[in-house]
Amino acid sequence: MNNKTGNRSETLLERLALDVIVTRLQAFTVPADALTWNRFFGALLLVLVVLIFLSGAFMAFYYSPSPGSAYDSVDYALFTLPFGDVIKGIHHYGWNLFLIVMGLHLLRGFIFGAYKPPRQFVWVSGIFIMLLVPAFVITGDLLPWDQKGYWSTQVRISIIESVPFVGDFAIRLLQGGPLTGIVALTRFYVLHILFLPCLLIFLLVVHFNFIGHRGLSGALSGEITPRPAVSFFPVMVNRWLILFLCVTLVLGLISWHWPAPLGDPADPTDSTYVPKPEWWVLFLNQLVTIFKGPWSVIGSVIIPGGLAGLLIALPFIDSSPERHPARRKKLMLVAAMIAIALVVLSIMGYLEHFRASHS
C-alpha cells in the first residue's frame, strides 16, 4: 500500500502489463498426467526440439555456408570456441535422442491405441512431424562439409534420383544443379535453418491444437472417469522446466565428455570413401541394397512409402473403440511382424557396414 495515497502499489507483472496473461495461464488447466513419470515422451520431445533449435541458432553464429570455409568454421566452433563442443554436442546427441524418443512416443501411442477416435488427427499430425525429421537430417548432414556428410548426401541423392517422375526435378530443386557444390550447400542450409523449422513449428502447433481439442488418451479400460487437472502455469510449466534442465545437463555432460564427431574435410575427388549409414536408416539402406537396378524403386519408394501410408491411415483402418493391446491381437501381430522385419534388416545392414570396422 502506498502510505500517502492509500492506493495499492503495482506489481512488476502489472507494470509490464503481463498480469492478465499470467491470470489466464493460471486459470488454464491441463490433465495432471500430461507430464508424469510414466508419460513424458511428448514433453521430452518438446524439450529436445527447443534444445536443438537453441543450439542450432548458436552454431549458426559461427557457421559459414561455403564449401571452402564450412568445415573450418565448424572445426573452430567445435574445438576453439569456449563451450562450442557442448553446444555442437547438444545438437548432435539431441537429434539422435529425438529420433529414439520419437520412435518410443509412436510405439506407446500405437500400443495404447492413442490414435483411436476422437484422436485420429493427433496421430496423423504426429506422423507428419515424424516424416519431416529425415529432411532435417539430410539437410543438416551436409553442412559441416566433411567426408561423411558429403558422401552420405551423394548416396541419398542417388536414391532420390531413382524416384520415378519426380527424382530429377527434386534433385535440381535441392542442389540447384547436377553437382553438390556451393549452391547445394546454400540451399541445404536455408532449408535446414529456415524452411524446415518453420514447417516443424507449424506442424507442432497443429499437433498441440488437436491435443488441446481432443485431449490425452485415456485409460486402457475405456472407462471415462474425471481426470484430476492442474494449472498450466506454474505447475505444468515448472515440471517441463525441470525436465528441460535435467536433459540439458545430461546432454551437456555427454557432449563435454564425448565431443560430437567431425570427420575429415570433404574431398569430392575421393571416390574410395564409403559412407556408413546412420543407425536409424540401416533398414532403409538394406532395402536399397536388396532391390537393385530396375527394382530399386521398390526399396527406395514403394516399401518406405507404403509404411508411411499405413501409419497415416492407421486410425481409419483400425477405428474400433477397443484400445487394450491384448484385445487387438491381429493388429499387434501384423505390427510385430513389420517390426521384426525392420529389426532384421537393420541388423543385416549393421553387419554389412560395420562388421568390417570391428574385425
Residues that contact another protein, how many (by CB under 8 A): 44
For another protein, the closer of residues 2 and 357 by Cβ is: 357
- Does 111 sit near another protein (CB under 8 A)? yes
* Beta carbon of residue 16, minimum distance to another protein (angstroms, whole number): 40
How far apart (Å, rounded) are the C-alpha atoms in residues 294 and 150?
26
* Beta carbon of residue 63, minimum distance to another protein (angstroms, whole number): 16
Q: 179-195: string of b/e by CB count within 10 Å (b at 16+)?
A: ebeeebbebbbebbbee
Annotate 81-110 with three-state secondary structure: CCCHHHHHHHHHHHHHHHHHHHHHHHHHHH
Which of 220, 230, 308, 331 is in the footprint of another protein by CB under 8 A? 220
- Does 274 sit near another protein (CB under 8 A)? yes
State the Rg of the chain over Cα. 24
Which of 79, 169, 195, 202 is in the footprint of another protein by CB under 8 A? 79
* Beta carbon of residue 158, minimum distance to another protein (angstroms, whole number): 18
* Beta carbon of residue 78, minimum distance to another protein (angstroms, whole number): 8
Which of 19, 22, 31, 39 is in the footprint of another protein by CB under 8 A? 39
Site string for another protein, 317-356 (x = CB under 8 A): -------------------------------------x-x
How far apart (Å, rounded) are the C-alpha atoms in residues 301 and 287?
10
Residue 140's nearest CA partner among 79, 74, 80 is 74
- Does 101 sit near another protein (CB under 8 A)? yes
Residue 315: is the preceding peptide bond cis (ω within 30°)? no
> From the centroid of its chain, how far is CA 3?
56
Site string for another protein, 228-267 (x = CB under 8 A): --------------------------x--xxx-xxxxx-x
For another protein, the closer of residues 5 and 272 by Cβ is: 272
Task: Give the dihedral of Cα atoms 114, 120, 122, 127; nearest 10 deg.
Answer: 90
DSSP state of 29: E
Which of 5, 38, 225, 359 is in the footprint of another protein by CB under 8 A? 38
Which of 19, 32, 53, 108 is in the footprint of another protein by CB under 8 A? 108
What backbone torsions phi and psi does residue 39 show, to the nearest 5 degrees?
Answer: -145, 90
- Does 173 sit near another protein (CB under 8 A)? no
As a residue count, the chain comes to 359
Q: Is 25 helix (H, G, I), strand (E, B) or coil?
A: helix
Helices (H) and strands (E) in the chain, counts: 15, 2
* Beta carbon of residue 69, minimum distance to another protein (angstroms, whole number): 10
- Tell me which amino acid residue 124 is: V
Q: Enumerate binding residues for another protein (CB under 8 A).
A: 37-39, 41, 71-72, 75, 78-79, 85, 93, 96-97, 100-101, 104, 107-108, 111-112, 147-148, 220, 254, 257-259, 261-265, 267, 269-270, 272-274, 276, 279, 354, 356-358
